[in-house]
Amino acid sequence: MFLASTRHQLTLLLIRLRAHLYWPLYRNGYALVLSSAFTSLLGMVYWVLAAHLYSAEIVGLNSAAISAMMFLAGIAQLNLTSALIRFIPGAGASTRRLVVGAYGLSALVALAVGLIFMGGFGAWTPIPRFIEMIPFFTPWFILATMGWCIFMLQDSVLTGLRRTIWVPVENTVFAVVKIVLLVLFAAALPHYGIFAAWTLGLLAAVLLSNLFIFRRFLPSHLSQSAADKTPIDAGQISRFVAADYLGEICWLVVTMLMPVIVTQQVGAKANAYFYLAWTIAYSLYLVSPNMGASLIVEAATDQRRLKRDSYRTFVHTAYLLVPAVGLIVIGAPYILFIFGPDYATEATTLLRLLALSALPNMINAMFISVARVQRRLAALVTVLAILCGLVLILGMLLLHVVGITGVGLAWLIGQTAVAVGVWSTQLRPLWSEIVEPTYADRPRPAPQA
């Protein structure tokens, strides 16, 4: 009797799970979250090995160089990551031209930005230390920046093509290759092996992913959508990108450039402790925009679903994020001890504060996704500018008062202050009339042939 009851309950659970995953809104969002979670886990393995194979100062210098490269690539991609997610579902026969144009334009901008940065602005970063060690570091850094642009854009291409199940695959390739190279380079390249492993792993991921995109996924998408979709024009994309790009720059400054600021202000060793705690916490920050990306893809074709779908996305994001934040807050000293006792001593409070800040960020990230669907770009830029201004100003002030812990406190204060305003003025009115149906009232997936 007990076994029969258990079997019946398990069958019902599987039916409900299958019905839940039937909806692309959830299925694609979970695929992106799974990709981020798995990539973050492998990324943690990467930095654990780096912390044990290299000194804290070398970890700090290399992580700052990687952050500078990612910051420049973020500028150079011109916010086309958001544009590709928003417009690929409706691009029809223009899809291939849209993807190739985005790749080419961002790579050219990355080349220009990289040359300008290396020509002068890099003087206040750890970059000169690498140039002293490696004569060819300048072209290497610029090519890596161009490659990271493509790497960022290809995830958006896969998402827009509704091939999000492949995002974890390409991110796993990148993570595994760079881990292997990190170990191999430890003895041969003791000063810059971390940067070398990262960039060569990036090359493998970009080549493999775009082989599948251009040989399989794009042709399939074109055959299914060319006849019934309306092509878009460049002006439509540029109007979307222009305003949203300002918000993206604000976000890049406060996320990717912060390790460089910490290195310049308090030293490479302190940045090693900051960067590894930030890397762990930032994995929590990826949950909300990943679920939001799925919302953008689905709502872009039918905005009548935005109110209810955004509410459902927010609720399911909370189901994933709240337990994860709790685990990191409780386990922070034990997680950091894996990197070494010094990391646990210096960064436990920082990690807890950063993890807690992911909860109000869930509200802010959902508003940003909703605003992108509605094309309320002025509101989006305003929210991001206020958020990033608060975090940057408070972070730089508190950094000199309480050390790297002050940056975590700045993130928590900034995210919470903005979330209170966004919730009360934007999301609460949007969802005020929603009454969620019970499971019995929800439509069932059509039977499979």
Reading the chain (449 residues) residue by residue, the pLDDT tens digits are 545 555 545 555 555 545 444 455 555 556 666 666 777 788 888 999 999 999 888 898 898 889 889 989 989 988 888 778 777 877 777 788 888 989 999 999 999 999 988 877 666 666 677 767 777 888 999 999 999 999 999 988 888 887 877 877 888 889 899 999 999 999 888 888 999 999 999 999 999 989 988 988 888 877 776 555 555 666 667 776 776 788 888 888 888 888 888 988 888 899 999 999 999 998 888 888 877 776 766 665 566 677 877 888 888 888 889 999 999 999 999 999 999 999 999 999 999 999 999 999 999 988 888 888 777 878 888 999 999 999 999 999 999 899 999 999 999 999 999 999 999 998 888 888 665 544 444 444 444 43
Asked if residue 354 is part of any domain, the answer here is yes
Asked if residue 11 is part of any domain, the answer here is no
How far CA 328 is from CA of 33, 284, 356, 411, in Å, comes to 17, 10, 9, 16
Q: Return d(Cα 331, Cα 352) in angstroms, integer.
A: 9
Asked if residue 449 is part of any domain, the answer here is no
213 contacts 99 by C-beta, under 8 angstroms: yes
Q: Return d(Cα 281, Cα 43) in angstroms, integer.
A: 12
Asked if residue 377 is part of any domain, the answer here is yes
107 contacts 149 by C-beta, under 8 angstroms: yes
Q: What is the pLDDT of residue 222?
A: 77
- Domain span including residue 391: 26-434
Give every CB contact of residue 347 below 8 A, 6+ residues apart in sequence. 273, 274, 276, 277, 336, 404
The encoded tokens of residue 421 equal: 């305003």
316 contacts 29 by C-beta, under 8 angstroms: yes
Residue type, 148: W
Asked if residue 20 is part of any domain, the answer here is no
Q: Return d(Cα 395, Cα 403) in angstroms, integer.
A: 10
Q: What is the pLDDT of residue 353?
A: 97
Asked if residue 136 is part of any domain, the answer here is yes
Q: What is the pLDDT of residue 218?
A: 84
Quickly list H helices, 189-340.
193-212, 218-225, 234-255, 258-266, 268-285, 287-300, 306-337
387 contacts 422 by C-beta, under 8 angstroms: no
Number of domains making up the chain:
1
Q: Return d(Cα 368, Cα 356) in angstroms, integer.
A: 19
Asked if residue 191 is part of any domain, the answer here is yes
Give every CB contact of residue 53 below 8 A, 6+ residues apart in sequence. 182, 183, 186, 193
**If we measure between CA atoms, which residue out of 257, 232, 140 comes closest to residue 195?**
140
Q: Return d(Cα 6, Cα 9) in angstroms, integer.
A: 5
446: left (phi over 0), alpha (psi -120 to 50) or beta: beta
Asked if residue 239 is part of any domain, the answer here is yes
